[in-house]
Chain A
């Protein structure tokens, strides 16, 4: 018989390398005589939308039409080190470096135009004019931006310190159906709520939430590397099974934008935190459905069925 259950799980996640490790990002903003602005920045586009986030932050800070701004991010001979696309740090760290470079470049552009107000620049001819004025007046056309995150090393014996900053928060609700004859768990509904500060691109952020939830479903009920004396037995996608579209339910995502003072426009990290609450919410929902708690993960059919049997034998 299929039994339905509801579970909730919260989480927090500290952005960045943390523990006082140098967490630095750099970006270079250049106004070009061809009438465009180039941002050289080491943001690896792993699929998470980092390229777009840098583009949007640059567009906002420069007050220039987005089509006139190009992000170059793939050649180490042309960009400075901005650290890894990891630790959910690119929007916060590298976004701050881009913001720093672009704000300073805009100041120089305004200076070149002798403080005439420049609202949104939509025409490359205007950029060419500004560029020419900058060259004429000896104003720097190439600006370096920099940001270093704040964290402190924790004491190894007491753990006291400020290991990460900032923290992202979130919560998910999972609704599952558990077949108490087969042990199969179906995730039928997910509600995801995150506070990652300002959301730079809501559609991309929702995509992250959906992708993270899918990964969390795999972590909760499907995925496991099987080892035999150090040998991985399931090496292919034919036997290492990850969720498909049929395993991923309707996911409704909401963002609570509690702005972070030190973030670019108030943004924090999002890429990793989105998968954290899914698995525990599912595990709690399984308990709600059949009164059985899983302690060894993932909650495969075999484990759920075994847990049901163990419970019945105790009666």
Chain B
């Protein structure tokens, strides 16, 4: 092969190395305005009033936009349209966007933003999965605090554990984390000849086009998304963040508008990695073969759905690890709270579960007095293996080859 499998210098390398690559903040237009959103400081409550009339009078302020001025849909979301573009009344997390302020320059915008006052009626929120699942918890989702509940069952779990010589039973807790991409969110929008163009660094330009068209109530062919150079993403640029705000501000002011987040605003506003509480009970036979696995996973999905159901499904499907286990009982739940919303982040649910299943593997290897690599090799998937979901793996199953390679390097006889 001439190109595939070769260390060809990537075509985008040169511009990035010499600093010529254009990120959203590198894009400017004449008469461009600056916009920013006031975000909720409380996690749960109702917005009673905002001093919009007062802010409109401040020097340099061109427009103050609330939800009533959005031409189309006032919510967005990758699966469910549950996230406010601008809050109508209810605030469900710190960082919900309340009003959009547009000004002639950054300094005026900065001054005006400091003057925005929001009055709330604050409610007692829920900040843990345990509290959210209590009977008297406020309902944050659509009739329930459980966004998603998936079970994976195969074989006979009771008999499976009866076969076990050793059982490891533990709880594991993973933390919430941040994508920490280097380029905080930014967007520039302009509205010319009935076409709205948004310059943004995004993981999915066609989805952004759909959401911008929805909130503007215009056809998708009247929206153009220009995907600029992207300064890292890791799942943090899958949901809408500045796109709709920039578009609405450009449409209302009929001027190009730029939105540029600080690191703080970026951290507060975009999704996070799901923290998960994971109960694992793993059984192994005397001969070293895994025989039973019971798992319960509770993912704190925060205030909005985002990809929560898909993330917990991915966690459930991958909860067994790359091992053949004939008797399995897995359940995974995505639970709403008033914490920051959780969504996509590198690994997407398949990142949390290895902390549990690989700890269990080492604990059992020690009980069996077998080298951890040998124990893994004995149980690893190969061509023809059946996964916990009953899927037969038919090609390209390199797990055992990976173990063989490290065993060769470390001089371990498998």
User: Which residues of A line the B interface, CB within 8 A?
Assistant: 7-14, 17-19, 42, 44-47, 49, 51-52, 55-57, 59-60, 63, 66, 71, 73-77, 81-87, 120, 154, 156-164, 166-167, 169-171, 173, 191, 193-195, 197-204, 212, 215, 218-219, 223-225, 227, 229-232, 235-237, 240, 242, 254, 256, 258-261, 263, 265-266, 268, 271-273, 275-277, 279-281, 283-284, 287, 293, 295-298
Contacts and interface: CB of A to CB of B under 8 A. Distances in A.
B230 A191 contact: no
A56 B3 contact: yes
A159 B153 contact: yes
Given A51-B12, A160-B389, A10 B322 contact: yes
Given A51-B10, A55-B11, A276 B5 contact: no
Nearest to A298: B175
Interface residues on B, range: 35 or more
A67 to B, nearest CB: 10
Q: Which 7 A-B pairs have the closest CB atoms?
A: A195-B398, A159-B152, A230-B43, A280-B358, A258-B398, A59-B3, A52-B10
Contacts of B226: 74-76
B272 interface: yes
Contacts of A256: 398, 401-402, 405
A160 B328 CA distance: 11
Interface stretch (B54-62, B281-289, B339-347): B339-347
B399 interface: yes
Given A13-B350, A277-B354, A230 B125 contact: yes
B322 A11 contact: yes
Contacts of A296: 172-173
A56 B6 contact: yes
A261 B395 contact: yes
Contacts of A202: 5-7
Interface in B219-264: 221, 223-235, 237-238, 263-264
A277 B350 CA distance: 10
Given A44-B205, A272-B347, A225 B178 contact: yes
Interface of B: 1-8, 10-12, 43-44, 93-94, 125, 127, 149-154, 170-178, 180, 202-207, 209, 221, 223-235, 237-238, 263-264, 267-268, 272, 310, 313-314, 316-318, 321-322, 330, 337-340, 344, 346-348, 350-351, 354-355, 357-359, 361-363, 372-373, 376, 380-381, 388-391, 393, 395-399, 401-403, 405-406, 409-410
A77 B195 CA distance: 11
Contact of B94 (A86, A232, A268, A293): A232
Contacts of B233: 44, 46-47, 85
